């Protein structure tokens, strides 16, 4: 990252300051303390309290995003709102010449993604997509290791995420866990939202992160919770890059883990492997005949990177076009058959701490299946066919992958 050219703090409006938006609020506070930004507006249905705005003074608050941008003279809009509002809000900012940091996923469909990117391009504004893991310097370090032949020839990339979400997570908002809402696509599933970083990070390491790089997608979508979307799923993406080379990525993820852990991406080579715990910026290199090496890496904040881009032309780390391959996955999930409900005998409800009622649903054996999917580059149904995993993967035995031939 280059040093940012000194100058006045850039006025910022934040749309969506609660839930995950609190992370953005705190990040803006940190950058404001450095004199880089000035929070001039907050767009929320319910205004923030003085306590929530501690250290910010009195930024203007309004539920009217467009009017707020105009009245405050904002240069940057940070958008952390429901998925199905992303494209419209990003375009509202672009129409007013306001640059955008947009929370992932960029849009709920590929058509909306194209509409948004076309509008951003026509308006000449910069847009950064909020895949924070792609700001990790570990990504570049891993790509350099692979290019130098540290692990031999790459056989494939696995991505694994075993998280747990309680029932309140699925009732936190009307759009939570929905595929559609009031006739609009939402696509709030485990692959496309909470564990989206796993796939996006794997695609960036693979080098096939643009829409035209995706040759084929296979999906298996399941749900243990009483929702529309998937909470336990897997996907295989095959990429064919412009130089004629290609790769294979298999992601196995769940929000119904027995023992939640840190998600990771693992690059399998003929002579070793590289594992990247992307939330921790931690990398482990394992090679034949050598002791494992673990390194920790710095991370460039995406809003700071956007500021540098506006100041001196520093390259954006996550422009929309570098999320095109991920959006192909979103589109495949959107158009796939409805997720299969898991039989009641495959999951259990865990009581809440107060014993008042169930807190979350847990799928038996799913932690191991997620790990094995990333290790063996296998879909759940393929694991179910193996004698050593059949008992744990019985619920996937009847499922075959839904193939989406997306073409180039």
pLDDT in tens, 90-137: 999 999 999 999 999 999 999 999 999 999 999 999 999 999 999 999
Task: Phi first, then psi: give them for residue 135, nearest 5 degrees.
Answer: -90, -5
Task: Phi first, then psi: give them for residue 54, nearest 5 degrees.
Answer: -55, 125
Evaluate the CA torsion angle 403, 404, 407, 408 in order and state its sign.
negative
Model confidence over 319-369: pLDDT tens digits? Answer: 999 999 999 999 999 999 999 999 999 999 998 766 667 799 999 999 999
Q: Confidence class of residue 4 from pLDDT cuts 50, 70 and 90?
A: very low
Contact 316, 304 (CB under 8 A): no
Q: Confidence class of residue 390 from pLDDT cuts 50, 70 and 90?
A: confident
> Which of 340, 333, 337 has the alpha carbon at shortest distance from 217?
333
How far is Cα 390 from Cα 380, in angstroms, rounded to an integer?
Answer: 10
User: Tokens at residue 278, please?
Assistant: 């992307």
How far is Cα 82 from Cα 55, in angstroms, rounded to an integer?
Answer: 26
Q: Confidence class of residue 391 from pLDDT cuts 50, 70 and 90?
A: confident
Q: Confidence class of residue 385 from pLDDT cuts 50, 70 and 90?
A: confident
Model confidence over 210-233: pLDDT tens digits? Answer: 999 999 999 999 999 999 999 999
Q: Who wins on pLDDT, 403 or 309?
A: 309
User: Can you give the pTM of this predicted structure?
Assistant: 0.95
Pairing of strands 99-102, 127-129: parallel
SS (H, E, C) the chain: CCCCCCCCCEEEEEECCCCCHHHHHHHHHHHHHCCCEEEEEEECCCCCCCCCCCCCCCCEEECCHHHHHHHHCCCEEEECCCHHHHHHHHHHHHHCCCEEEECCCCCCCHHHHHHHHHHHHHHCCCEEECCHHHHEHHHHHHHHHHHCCCCCCEEEEEEEEECECCHHHHCCCCCCCCCEECCEECCCCCCCCCCHHHHHHHHHHHCCCCHHHEEEEEEEEEECCCCCCCCEEEEEEEEECCCCCEEEEEEEEECECCCCCCCEEEEEECCEEEEEECCCCEEEEEECCCCCEEEECCECCHHHHHHHHHHHCCCCCCCHHHHHHHHHHHHHHHHCCCCEECCHHHEEEEECCCCCCEEEEEECCHHHHHHHHHHHCCCHHHHHCCCCCCCCCHHHCCCCCEEECCCC
User: Tokens at residue 81, please?
Assistant: 């709102």
Model confidence over 111-123: pLDDT tens digits? Answer: 999 999 999 999 9
Domain boundaries, the chain: 138-298+339-404
Residue 34, C-beta contacts closer than 8 angstroms, at least 6 positions apart = none
CATH code for residues 138-298+339-404: 3.30.360.10
Compute the mean pLDDT over every residue in the chain, rounded to the nearest whole number.
94
> Which of 332, 334, 321, 336 has the alpha carbon at shortest distance from 407?
332
How far is Cα 279 from Cα 270, in angstroms, rounded to an integer?
Answer: 26
Contact 232, 366 (CB under 8 A): yes
Contact 326, 199 (CB under 8 A): yes
pLDDT at 287 over 50: yes
Contact 369, 224 (CB under 8 A): no
Quickly tell me which residue has 């412009």 as its tokens. 242
Q: Who wins on pLDDT, 324 or 5?
A: 324
C-alpha distances in Å from residue 363, one per residue of 211, 223, 246, 254, 384 = 33, 10, 34, 9, 15
Model confidence over 195-208: pLDDT tens digits? Answer: 999 999 999 999 99
Model confidence over 56-82: pLDDT tens digits? Answer: 999 999 999 999 999 999 999 999 999
Q: Judge if the upstream peptide bond of residue 105 is cis by omega within 30 degrees of 0.
A: yes
Residue 147, C-beta contacts closer than 8 angstroms, at least 6 positions apart = none
User: Average pLDDT of 291-303?
Assistant: 98
pLDDT at 3 over 60: no
């Amino acid at each position: 990252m280059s040093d940012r050219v000194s100058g006045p703090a850039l006025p910022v409006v934040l749309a969506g300051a609660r839930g995950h938006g609190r992370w953005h609020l705190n990040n803006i506070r940190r950058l404001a303390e450095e004199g880089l930004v000035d929070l001039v507006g907050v767009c929320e249905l319910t205004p923030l309290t003085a306590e929530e705005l501690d250290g910010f003074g009195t930024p203007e608050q309004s539920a009217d995003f467009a009017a707020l941008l105009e009245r405050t003279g904002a240069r940057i809009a940070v958008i952390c709102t429901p998925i199905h509002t992303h494209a419209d809000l990003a375009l509202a900012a672009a129409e007013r010449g306001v640059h955008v940091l947009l929370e992932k996923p960029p849009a709920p469909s590929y058509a909306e993604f194209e509409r948004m990117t076309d509008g951003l391009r026509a308006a000449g504004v910069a847009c950064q997509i909020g895949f924070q893991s792609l700001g990790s310097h570990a990504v570049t370090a891993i790509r350099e290791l692979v290019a130098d032949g540290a692990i031999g020839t790459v056989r494939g990339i696995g991505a694994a995420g075993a998280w747990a979400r309680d029932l309140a997570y699925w009732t936190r908002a009307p759009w939570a866990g929905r595929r559609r809402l009031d006739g609009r696509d939402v696509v709030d599933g485990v692959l496309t939202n909470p564990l989206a970083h796993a796939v996006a990070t794997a695609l960036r390491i693979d080098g096939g992160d643009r829409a035209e790089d995706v040759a084929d997608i296979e999906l298996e979508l399941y749900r243990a919770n009483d929702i529309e979307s998937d909470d336990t799923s897997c996907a295989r993406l095959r990429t064919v890059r412009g130089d004629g080379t290609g790769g294979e990525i298999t992601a196995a993820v769940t929000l119904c883990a027995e023992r939640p852990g840190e998600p990771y991406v693992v690059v399998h080579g003929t002579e070793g492997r590289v594992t990247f715990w992307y939330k921790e910026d931690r990398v482990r290199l394992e090679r034949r005949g050598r002791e494992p090496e673990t390194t920790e890496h710095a991370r460039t904040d995406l809003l700071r990177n956007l500021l540098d881009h506006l100041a001196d032309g520093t390259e954006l780390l996550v422009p929309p076009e570098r999320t095109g391959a991920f959006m192909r996955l979103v589109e495949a999930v959107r158009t796939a058959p409805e997720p299969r409900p898991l039989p009641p005998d495959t999951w259990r409800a865990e009581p809440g701490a107060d014993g008042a009622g169930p807190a979350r649903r847990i799928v038996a054996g799913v932690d191991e299946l997620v790990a094995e999917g990333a290790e063996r580059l296998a879909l759940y149904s393929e694991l179910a066919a193996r004698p050593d995993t059949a008992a744990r993967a019985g619920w996937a035995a009847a499922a075959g992958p839904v193939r989406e031939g997306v073409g180039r």
